[in-house]
Amino acid sequence: MGALFATEGINGQVIVYSRYCPFKPIKIAVIGAGNVGASTAYSLMLDGLAAEIVIIDVNHAKAEGEAMDITHAVPLSPSGQTRVYAGGYRDLYDAAVVVVTAGVNQKPGQTRLDLVHANAAIYRTIIPEVAHHAPRTVLLIATNPVDVCTYLAYKLSGFPAHRVLGSGTVLDSARLQTELGAMFDVNPASVHAFVVGEHGDSEVVPWSLASIQGMRLPEFCRGADLPYDADALRAAAARTRTAAYEIIKRKGATDFAIAAALTSIVRAVVRSEDSLLTVSRVGSYAGVDDVCLSVPARVNSKGARTISTLVLEPDEEEALRNSALRIKEAIESLGDLLQT
Ligand code: NAD
């Protein structure tokens, strides 16, 4: 089914209604037209989620080029009809979701936390504009270090915590599912396992909560007559954690999987799915207050809220606490940049 539900001419304008919401034309904004922003706008268009996608970049010509290129794919796409264009902050006024991908990316060997000061300075120019022009939108942050940038966006926007989401470990969880799906020879979507904490080097895999077929991994292995190989699982977690470094070493950036992760989060908001996703949000975790990291949260049109505290093994709780403290330290290093 295409995205087009109804059109009507108002002052010569054609309004296209999303296939997910036939009563209201949905607009999504993507700020930053680089690798991540362009791939995300393309993925959103293919998904048919929105009637309009506006792309904003300090390099307006780049935003225009990406919008033109994506527009030429619309007639060839299953989404049917989406208006994709380069715009400015004034275009945000009715955006359901604003996805922020603007900022510098990692160079080979750099960690995500190395980007914190450069991207904080960029956020100080972007987030107040978004808050001014789209005061009721859901903000979705992708810029790295994503947990720190999500915290900063929360502070600079003045939005309630549930309306400021980071892509967090949604991507890392998909990478882990991919690893485990290959290891156990099942579709990755049938593996219930996720990553919590920082989207970065201190991220944590809570193995005690991982399951296949409703069974924890040791029981699943026993039932399947497979050896339970803790070393192989640790190696899978390490490959999950270092995947971005390996991809950046080879192609200079990561973009397709993060675009799919952002699209899945936008979809959960626009369709008010109540899906449990490991988005990053501000809260108290593992005894650390006023920090931002990922645990499963319910995502719907109002944003994201955690609905139940994770019950972890003591070593997992300790690892989550260390991750929270590391993010907290990076947040505190911003000093005056946090002031509105
Ligand atoms: P890129 O350099 O290709 O694109 C960044 C874009 O931001 C550029 O087009 C630039 O012009 C734009 N920009 C810079 N300052 C701006 C401003 N003030 N206003 C508007 N636009 C501005 O980088 P990329 O590869 O697209 O990565 C973007 C960010 O996403 C990086 O921080 C990267 O680390 C992050 N990222 C996050 C994840 C995740 O899982 N959250 C995954 C991949 C990349």
Residues forming beta bridges with residue 10, ordered by sequence position: 13
- What local confidence, expressed as pLDDT, does residue 81 receive? 84
What the block records as the tokens of 297 is 């949260």
Q: Look at the chain and count its residues.
A: 340
- Is 252 flagged in the annotation as binding? no
3-state secondary structure 213-277: CCEEHHHHHHHHCCCCCHHHHHHHHHHHHHHHHHHHHHHCCCCHHHHHHHHHHHHHHHCCCCEEE
Distance 296 CA to ligand 1 centre (A): 25
Strands 288-294 and 280-285: antiparallel
- Is 33 flagged in the annotation as binding? yes
Q: How many helices (H) and strands (E) does the chain have?
A: 9, 16
Locate the ligand 1 atom nearest the alpha carbon of residue 142 and give its number. 41
3-class secondary-structure state, position 30: strand
Residues 6+ apart with CB under 8 A from 324: 197, 285, 286, 287, 288, 291, 293
Asked whether the beta carbons of 149 and 274 are under 8 A apart, the reply is: no
Which amino acid does the sequence have at 220? F
> What's the pLDDT tens digit per position in 66-89?
999 999 999 999 877 899 999 999
Locate the ligand 1 atom nearest the alpha carbon of residue 63 and give its number. 9
- Is 225 flagged in the annotation as binding? no
Distance 209 CA to ligand 1 centre (A): 33
Asked whether the beta carbons of 39 and 70 are under 8 A apart, the reply is: no
Asked whether the beta carbons of 172 and 245 are under 8 A apart, the reply is: no
Asked whether the beta carbons of 176 and 242 are under 8 A apart, the reply is: no
Please give the chain's pLDDT, 340 residues, in tens: 344 444 444 444 445 555 555 556 899 999 999 999 999 999 999 999 899 999 999 999 999 999 999 999 999 998 778 999 999 999 999 999 999 999 998 888 888 888 999 999 999 999 999 999 999 999 999 999 999 999 999 999 999 999 999 999 999 999 999 999 999 999 999 999 999 999 999 999 999 999 999 999 999 999 999 999 999 999 999 999 999 999 999 999 999 999 999 999 999 999 999 999 999 999 999 999 999 999 999 999 999 999 999 999 999 999 999 999 999 999 999 998 899 8
Provide the whole-model pTM. Answer: 0.94
Locate the ligand 1 atom nearest the alpha carbon of residue 146 and give its number. 41
Pocket test for ligand 1, best of 105, 116, 123 (most atoms within 8 A of CB): 105
Query: Could you give the CA distance from residue 160 to residue 188 in angstroms, rounded to a whole number?
Result: 34
Binding-site residues, ligand 1, Cβ < 6 A: 31-37, 57-59, 62, 101-106, 115, 119, 122, 125-126, 142-144, 146, 167, 171, 199, 253-254, 258
- What local confidence, expressed as pLDDT, does residue 3 receive? 42
Query: Could you give the CA distance from residue 236 to residue 210 in angstroms, rounded to a whole number?
Result: 13
Residue 117 annotated as catalytic: no
Locate the ligand 1 atom nearest the alpha carbon of residue 112 and give its number. 34
Query: Could you give the CA distance from residue 340 to residue 261 in angstroms, rounded to a whole number?
Result: 30
What is the number of other CB atoms lying within 10 angstroms of the CB of residue 313?
Answer: 12
- What local confidence, expressed as pLDDT, does residue 18 receive? 54
| Nearest CA-CA partner of 333 in 100, 114, 105 | 114
- What local confidence, expressed as pLDDT, does residue 4 receive? 42
What is the number of other CB atoms lying within 10 angstroms of the CB of residue 133?
Answer: 18
Q: Which residue's C-alpha comes closest to atom 39 of ligand 1? A: 142
> What's the pLDDT tens digit per position in 139-150?
999 999 999 999
Which amino acid does the sequence have at 337? L
- What local confidence, expressed as pLDDT, does residue 19 receive? 53
Distance 244 CA to ligand 1 centre (A): 15
- Is 37 flagged in the annotation as binding? yes
- What local confidence, expressed as pLDDT, does residue 2 receive? 40
Count of alpha carbons within 13 angstroms of residue 31, beta-carbon side: 27
